[in-house]
């Protein structure tokens, strides 16, 4: 049976794990977005060069300026977004499971009384045994 300090340590570990996973999701999403942007910029630059040179192919739809180009760009960005949403969802599910495991674990007998006696005065709360002392002193 864990003591409250063990529970706080487990919750802190879960919070740090969540933060690290969300940072990783953001990093990967940023990298993927940059790759998509680089591909789109490359296609646009190729079409611009071809247009300037006067050698544009009117039937080509592979570039960023052509009708298929923006569609491909938006599909790539949607894929990046879906990966980020899935990663975020996974991170939050793991975090929730960690918190649930801590919340559902039984606490050692008397551990909360000892913890409340130490921490309670910081928050202006009486220790568990203070009420009994006052009741006996009033008699």
> In terms of pLDDT, which residue wins out, 108 or 28?
28
Residue boundaries of the structural domains of the chain: 4-58+66-102
Whole-Å CA distances, 76 to 28, 36, 69? 14, 7, 11
> What is the pLDDT at residue 46?
85
> In terms of pLDDT, which residue wins out, 85 or 72?
85
Helix axes 68-104, 4-53, angle to 10 degrees: 180
- Summarize pLDDT for 106-122 with one digit per residue, the tens: 776 766 676 677 777 77
Residue 61 above 50 pLDDT?
Answer: no
Predicted TM-score (pTM) of the model is 0.63
Average pLDDT for residues 8-25, to the nearest whole number? 94
> What is the pLDDT at residue 22?
97
**Scanning the structure block, which residue is given the tokens 């949607």?**
78
**Scanning the structure block, which residue is given the tokens 């910029």?**
41
The rounded distance, in Å, linking the Cα atoms of 71 and 90 is 28
> What is the pLDDT at residue 88?
97
Q: Where are the alpha helices (DSSP H) in the chain?
A: 4-53, 68-104, 111-119, 130-138
The rounded distance, in Å, linking the Cα atoms of 69 and 119 is 62
Q: Are 95 and 14 in contact (CB under 8 A)?
A: yes
The rounded distance, in Å, linking the Cα atoms of 31 and 67 is 25
Residue 70 above 80 pLDDT?
Answer: no
């Amino acid at each position: 049976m864990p003591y409250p300090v063990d529970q706080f340590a487990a919750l802190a570990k879960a919070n740090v794990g969540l933060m690290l996973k969300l940072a990783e999701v953001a990093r990967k999403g940023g990298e993927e977005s940059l790759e998509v942007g680089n591909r789109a910029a490359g296609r646009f630059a190729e079409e611009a060069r071809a247009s300037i040179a006067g050698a544009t192919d009117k039937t080509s739809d592979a570039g960023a300026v052509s009708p298929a180009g923006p569609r491909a760009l938006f599909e790539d960005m949607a894929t990046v977004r879906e990966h980020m949403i899935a990663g975020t969802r996974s991170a939050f599910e793991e975090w929730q499971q960690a918190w649930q495991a801590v919340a559902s674990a039984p606490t050692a007998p008397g551990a909360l009384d000892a913890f409340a006696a130490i921490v309670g005065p910081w928050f202006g709360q009486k220790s568990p045994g203070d009420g009994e002392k006052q009741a006996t002193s009033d008699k």
